[in-house]
Structure 1
Amino acid sequence: MRRYVVSKWVKTEAVLHSTAVRPHIPATRILSEESLREMLNEYRMVYVKPDCGTFGSGVMRVDYNEKDAKPYRYQHRKTTRSFETFEDLYQSLKAAAGGRKYLVQKGIRMLKHNHNVFDLRVMVQTNPAGQWETTGMIGRVSQTGKVVTNYHSGGKLRSVETLLGPYLGADEVKRFKAKLKRLALGTAHALRSKYPGIREIGLDVAVDQEFKPWVLEVNTKPDPYIFKVLKNKRIYAKVRRYYKFNKRR
């Protein structure tokens, strides 16, 4: 059975079948001139990302502000380029994509930590009884000037409490984590119904200004070792134990 799914588009289509998860999936389309134009006009900010890729490589943020002299711009790594016309923007993006299949996704105005955006990684694994279990949550803060939060791209790892504490009270953080747990389990069940060989997933979850969680991406080969930095060592111990158990199966 297929254990790993690389295509972000395929995974998005699979989890959209869940009525509980669907409201938390940002609008996502295959990149084309038409899809980019329509989504920029509707959302004003989108992310363009490779369909197959890891560590945030190739992800670009695209913005449209009709009041600017050069209303179109995109950021790739720490470089920002601006354009007078949509056509010039699109041609530059296509060149940067290098012929690879890309997706365009509604941009989420994420919460920030020390002026840098952050998202949350939620780990879900099958336990020795074969049941899905949410085993860990950790925050990832973007490097200053970058649009991605990935640890391998310079992001910093922080606890969920550290990142949400300035916004929510302790009890509210607990309730929010319980909501994330339900969302993660629902996503795992939805993906496994299509690909029954999957045993672990890592959800990348953005939190918007209204504290709504958005599933940006689902990884079927998540890194278990990022949880090692948490003060609560029992979390990493469980993640690592389940990781090793599932690897042997």
Structure 2
Amino acid sequence: MGIEKSQPLRSIWLKTKQLINNDSIKPFIPDTQKFNKVNLKSMIARYGMLYIKPEIGTHGMGVIKAEMNNQQDFAYQMNQKRLTFNSFDSFHKSLAHVVNQRSYLIQRGIHLLKYNNRRFDIRVMVQLSPEQQWEATGVIGRLGHSKKIVTNYHNGGQPMDIHKLLESHVSTKRRNELIQEMNKLGVGIARHMNKKYKRLKAIGVDIGLDQSLTPWVIEVNAKPDPYIFNQLKDKTMYRKVIRYFRHTDHKP
């Protein structure tokens, strides 16, 4: 069975459980729980904003953003549709109808940095090198659509140079340090996952930066799309990513 058909590598829940077993990675993993009424109530009260997502999903499909403005006002958005509620019970009932007994997760919401008033996150590509060493081969920003809640390229997101997205938030020196920190985190995740998933050749680590510049691991993709790097004007990263994919015979 190839890695692309391996159920554990598709399950956000199983990947999250593995990552939090590593003490150096755990601090960067947002609180994630199974979707149910008890977890929804405690997490919305604690964090104020959540993302509710399918345990197995692609391209940001089915992701819901949920918010509590005060103890009585609740809302959620899916795609471009936003619904509001004046009680937790009506809020939960509506969400439960959308989830419809499918396996969904609740994840602590991260208030992402913005560029031109649009949220963005970061994809770090980590691959096995020709020397069989894990290496961060590319890092790219994903600027979300102004009216959508996800940043995925297939859902209206715009791939962008990470330096351009970060330049209004941090100095050049800090920007370079931050990229190195995210690359190191990505390599650490690949090494840790590879202990269990021996056939792993590449991962895409989706990282969200909050106002304090803490890198939060939103998701780890075991079948990352290399072609988003071709959207950059400078093709250096794209060429390296493709070369590594071809060397390992990993089919993107």
- TM-score (structure 1 length as normaliser): 0.96
Gaps of 5+ in 1: none
Query: What secondary structure sits across from 1:109 in the alignment?
Result: coil
Q: 1:214 aligns to what? A: 216
Q: 1:52 aligns to what? A: 56
- Does the 8 Å contact 1:200/1:222 carry over to 2? yes
Select the residue among 104, 119, 122 that pairs with 1:120: 122
Distance 2:196 2:97 in 1: 34
Larger deviation: 174-183 or 237-246? 237-246
Query: What secondary structure sits across from 1:81 in the alignment?
Result: strand
Q: 1:38 aligns to what? A: 42
Distance 1:74 1:119 in 2: 21
Q: Deviations over 1:146-205 (max 9, x none)?
A: 110000000111111000001111111111111011110111111111212111100110
Specify the code of the residue in structure 1 equivalent to 2:20.
L
Select the residue among 127, 137, 146 that pairs with 1:144: 146
Query: What secondary structure sits across from 1:231 in the alignment?
Result: coil
Task: Return the offset for 1:247.
Answer: 2.5
Q: Alignment length, in residue pairs?
A: 247
Distance 1:181 1:57 in 2: 26
Higher relative contact order (CA 8 A, sep 6+): 1
Larger deviation: 38-47 or 231-240? 231-240
Q: 1:27 aligns to what? A: 31
Task: Return the offset for 1:99.
Answer: 2.7
Task: Return the offset for 1:248.
Answer: 5.6
- Does the 8 Å contact 1:71/1:85 carry over to 2? yes
- Does the 8 Å contact 1:17/1:190 carry over to 2? no
Q: 1:79 aligns to what? A: 81
Task: Return the offset for 1:245.
Answer: 2.1
- Does the 8 Å contact 2:201/2:250 carry over to 1? no
Query: What secondary structure sits across from 2:24 in the alignment?
Result: coil
Task: Return the offset for 1:60.
Answer: 0.6
Select the residue among 1, 15, 18 that pairs with 1:14: 18
Specify the code of the residue in structure 1 equivalent to 2:244.
Y
Moved over 4 A (4+): none
Task: Return the offset for 1:98.
Answer: 3.1
Specify the code of the residue in structure 2 equivalent to 1:19.
D
Q: Is 1:223 aligned with 2:225? A: yes
Structure 1 residues 22 and 248: alpha-carbon distance in aligned structure 2, compared to 1, 3 A threshold: closer
- Does the 8 Å contact 1:206/1:215 carry over to 2? yes
Task: Return the offset for 1:225.
Answer: 0.4
- TM-score (structure 2 length as normaliser): 0.95
Task: Return the offset for 1:130.
Answer: 1.2
Specify the code of the residue in structure 2 equivalent to 1:3.
I
Q: Deviations over 1:210-249 (max 9, x none)?
A: 0010000000000000001223212101101111222269
Specify the code of the residue in structure 2 equivalent to 1:44.
G
Q: 2:101 aligns to what? A: 99
Distance 1:105 1:235 in 2: 31
Select the residue among 176, 179, 185 that pairs with 1:177: 179
Gaps of 5+ in 2: none
